[in-house]
Amino acid sequence: MGAAAALELARRGVRVLGIDRFAPPHSLGSHHGGSRIVRDCYFEHPDYVPLLLRARKGWDRLERDAHGGDPVVDGPIIHRPGVLYLGPAGSEVVDRSFESGRAHGIACERLDARAVRARFPQFMVPDGWGALFEPGAGFVRPERAVAATLALARRHGATLALGERVLEWSDTASGVRVHTDRGTHEADTLVICAGAWTPAIAARLGVPLVPQRVVIAWISPRDPAACAAPHMPVWYVDRPGAPGVYGIPTAPGQGDPSGMKVAFHAGTPCDPDAPRTPPTADELQALAAATAMHVPGAAGPVTAHATCLYTMSPDGHFVIDQVPGCTRTWIACGFSGHGFKFMPVIGEALADLATAGATRLPIEFLRIRS
């Protein structure tokens, strides 16, 4: 999110200094793992859909800018094999995704169990289950997206201070002062996008954010053809009473790790500064079993795994606002495991706020509520 804000501000001719304690893209925060789902039907809340439609334009622009003229990355950033949402009758994921899509004119199709079996024979769908297929959805390559965004930000004149850690920051009479482990910077405005480290750097926010450890696995499928895009869409299975499980098909140019990526949409609280505990055999077994239950052709050995960080807000919605009591400091955090697809539009919103103190983008519902 910080990379997106830096790029958008630099595009507008603003002098930008982007600071990160590591060197994004890296595998210590929330943006690694090779893929992130992008979709416009939004069960989390229909008010996100206008932001997603704007983000879609931003993704298309990023893809064009990253590969046009003098390319900044190799390989596609976006894949759109569609997303299939599956669930038992009454599934909130399926029903709410459909309602939000229909309300905003997103192309999507409801399917009953028989229609799913006919069209997507890879999936085991019990009678009585339903599905929603969103053909224009898919996934992005997050590391490539972050690398491209930062390279383009630099090209537009942004300075990036990587490997520099912010220790504290404060208001001054005319702006902000940021102390890091390398020195002190002064600026008119500060934008904070610190992911899972937000509680450490913005305690005065007053919103209890909880970093969570999330397990990801890559499976070498028994039936590789059944698990490859574009024949296999991205899939998400709603399991009421248990965390949803989802998978990203294999795709050309995937690189390492190979295989189908799977995860539960859930994590366990953690300290982002503590050494990361690798996935246990039980965690990987649970993931492989849930996958094989719904996608029999995906049964196969786990060939790679990782952990990643969610930053949960109390209601699962993002927080984008001024830091209370600080007129020159804006913050975007609490992305609660579903923020990546919004990256370009969050950059735009933050650039508006940092330069004009307001935005026409509909983010009112993401402001801090007291």
Q: Name the site residues for ligand FAD (rule: CB under 6 A).
A: 1-2, 19-22, 24, 29-31, 33, 36-37, 165-166, 193-195, 197, 201, 214, 216, 263, 308-310, 335, 337-341
Cβ proximity to ligand FAD, 152 vs 193, nearer residue: 193
Cβ proximity to ligand FAD, 8 vs 20, nearer residue: 20
Q: How far is the CB of 202 from ligand FAD (least distance, A)?
A: 10
Cβ proximity to ligand FAD, 97 vs 113, nearer residue: 97
Cβ proximity to ligand FAD, 33 vs 244, nearer residue: 33
Cβ proximity to ligand FAD, 181 vs 225, nearer residue: 181
- Residue 324: helix, strand or coil by DSSP? coil
Q: How far is the CB of 269 from ligand FAD (least distance, A)?
A: 14
Cβ proximity to ligand FAD, 51 vs 113, nearer residue: 51
- Rounded Cα–Cα distance for residues 232 and 192 (Å): 38
Q: How far is the CB of 164 from ligand FAD (least distance, A)?
A: 7
Residue 116: both structure tokens together: 């799913």
- Residue 124: helix, strand or coil by DSSP? coil
Q: How far is the CB of 24 from ligand FAD (least distance, A)?
A: 5
CA distances to 60, 149, 163, 250, 343 from 79, in Å: 11, 17, 31, 11, 16
Edge to edge, the sheet with strand 176-180 lists: 166-171, 176-180, 184-187
Q: What is the dihedral of CA 24, 69, 137, 286, to 10 degrees?
A: -30
Cβ proximity to ligand FAD, 36 vs 113, nearer residue: 36
Cβ atoms of 143 and 25 closer than 8 Å: yes
CA distances to 58, 86, 152, 248 from 137, in Å: 15, 15, 25, 12
Q: How far is the CB of 230 from ligand FAD (least distance, A)?
A: 18
Cβ proximity to ligand FAD, 113 vs 259, nearer residue: 259
Those residues with Cβ within 8 angstroms of residue 17's Cβ, 6 or more apart along the chain or in another chain? 158, 159, 160, 161, 185, 187
Q: How many CB atoms lie within 10 A of CB 328?
A: 18
- Rounded Cα–Cα distance for residues 2 and 158 (Å): 12
Q: How far is the CB of 330 from ligand FAD (least distance, A)?
A: 13
Residue, CB closest to ligand FAD = 29
Cα 75 from chain centroid?
19
